[in-house]
Amino acid sequence: MAKRSSDKSQSAAPGSRTPAVRHRVTMTDVARLAGCSQSTVSVVLNKSPGISISATTRDRVFAAAKELGYEVTRSQLSQSARPSQVAVIFDHIATSPEAVAVVDGIRECAWATGHVVMVFETHNDAEMEGRILDAVLHDETDLVIYATAMTRKVALPPRLHGIEPAVVLLNCHTDNHEFPSVVPGEVAGGHQAIDALIKFGHRRIAMITGEPWMDASRDRFKGYRQALATADIPFDSALVREGNWQASAGHGHTHALLTLDRPPTAIFCSNDKMAIGCYEALKERGLAIPDDISVIGFDNEEFARHLSPQLTTLVLPRREMGLWAVENGLSGAVAKWQKYPITKLECPLIERQSIARPRAELTAATAGGKMRR
């Protein structure tokens, strides 16, 4: 069951209508209930021509959609040659699978208001960015969403200042807060992960971080430290290892952590990929998850549900950020020359089978091979 953070500093700004966004039923939900892929759900519900889907599968998809209350919204698009549009300008798409979920959230909300969605990729090329702005800054554009693959501070193109379409920043922010901005609540997410382990009785909690120059890595680590401090658990730098988001880092650092005189009883990996490496290292040492060591990841990648045991992790609210950007950008509340706080959407904890109460504190000897029973 998902556990939700109540950290007020990480919550959405007043008037953002985030609760409506957070509980929206999506095609992913329908696919999970129907026991098929999201692509199949899209084909069935959108009645895509030329694709053969069995009647049994179609019935199952329609039944799941009805049970969940999912409505297929057919946009009442303008009959003009150029309907109103939402323009999304990404720095990178192809290298970021997260962008697909973001765009799907944008599309879902924009279609409901009769807008078409146009998505562009700049690769941080200033000349191409200027040409893209030439293409989108016209009377038919109601909203420009400026988005980044990595959460970070940006310097916006001067042409986005003082324009008629509303501008919203997605997964990025500026120093002067002149536009509404939405990012994941990574600090609260890290805090929530450690809180879950502390509630199970863990006190020797390790963390394998991402690369320290990234906002996501720094914020998740900040949440880790805040949770320890709140619980009066002393910070031990030996329990923190700098990773690189890859499974190999999770594997190598887990082995290193288990050579400590007092190894951890739980490991928080900054993403699910490093958790895969952590799993492998623990199994190589004959340690059982979660009986011997608990593990938590971050991002809620699809494979997290298929690990053995299933991985407890936190959701990166990709689709919700896309929904938020359109709902707030088209609400009419975006005003020129106004300051906006950064809205941080919650990263809910999905508690599965990889965490439990510690049986006993490990030692280097017992962590070196089979646990003594």
Q: Which of 3-7, 39-43, 73-77 has the highest mean pLDDT?
A: 39-43
Give me the residue label for tokens 């997260």: 98
Domain that holds residue 198: 186-312+351-367
pLDDT score at 46:
73
* For range 300-307, the mean pLDDT: 94
Is 143 found in the same domain as 91? yes
Whether pLDDT at 127 is above 90? yes
Q: Is residue 14 part of a domain?
A: no
3-state secondary structure of 11: coil
How many whole angstroms separate alpha carbon 2 and alpha carbon 350?
A: 5
Whether pLDDT at 247 is above 80? yes
Whether pLDDT at 17 is above 60? no
pLDDT score at 372:
38
Q: Which residue has the higher pLDDT, 113 or 281?
A: 281
Domain boundary (15, 50, 69) is at 69
* For range 329-355, the mean pLDDT: 88
Q: Is residue 17 part of a domain?
A: no
- C-alpha distances in Å from residue 83, one per residue of 142, 332, 334: 10, 18, 21
Is 271 found in the same domain as 209? yes
pLDDT score at 226:
98
Closest CA to 189 of 213, 221, 236: 221
Q: Is residue 16 part of a domain?
A: no
Q: Which residue has the higher pLDDT, 344 or 98?
A: 344
pLDDT score at 45:
82
Whether pLDDT at 20 is above 60? no
* For range 31-44, the mean pLDDT: 80
Is 355 found in the same domain as 230? yes
Q: Which range, of 68-77, 109-118, 191-200, 330-339, averages the lowest pLDDT?
A: 68-77
Is 33 found in the same domain as 117? no
Is 296 found in the same domain as 198? yes
| % pLDDT > 90, the chain | 62
Whether pLDDT at 10 is above 60? no
Q: Is residue 171 part of a domain?
A: yes
Is 298 found in the same domain as 196? yes
How many whole angstroms separate alpha carbon 322 and alpha carbon 70?
A: 18
Domain boundary (17, 50, 69) is at 69
How many whole angstroms separate alpha carbon 223 and alpha carbon 216?
A: 11
Q: pLDDT category, 172, cuts 50, 70, 90?
A: very high
Is 363 found in the same domain as 337? no
Pairing label, strands 349-350, 2-3: antiparallel
Q: Is residue 94 part of a domain?
A: yes
Is 299 found in the same domain as 270? yes
- C-alpha distances in Å from residue 329, one per residue of 211, 224, 244, 333: 32, 33, 34, 7
Is 112 found in the same domain as 43? no
Is 326 found in the same domain as 226? no
pTM: 0.79
pLDDT score at 13:
40
296, 268 Cβ separation under 8 angstroms: yes
Q: How many domains, the chain?
A: 3
CATH of the domain at 159: 3.40.50.2300
* For range 70-76, the mean pLDDT: 56
Identify the bridge partners of residue 94 per DSSP, sorted by sequence position.
none
Q: Which range, of 112-116, 270-274, 318-322, 351-355, averages the lowest pLDDT?
A: 112-116
Is 197 found in the same domain as 279? yes
pLDDT score at 2:
38
Q: Is residue 372 part of a domain?
A: no
Q: Is residue 22 part of a domain?
A: no
Mean pLDDT of the chain: 86
Is 207 found in the same domain as 264? yes
* For range 72-84, the mean pLDDT: 50
pLDDT score at 72:
61
pLDDT score at 365:
61
CA quadruple 14, 183, 119, 34: dihedral sign: negative
How many whole angstroms separate alpha carbon 221 and alpha carbon 215?
A: 10
Q: Is residue 287 part of a domain?
A: yes
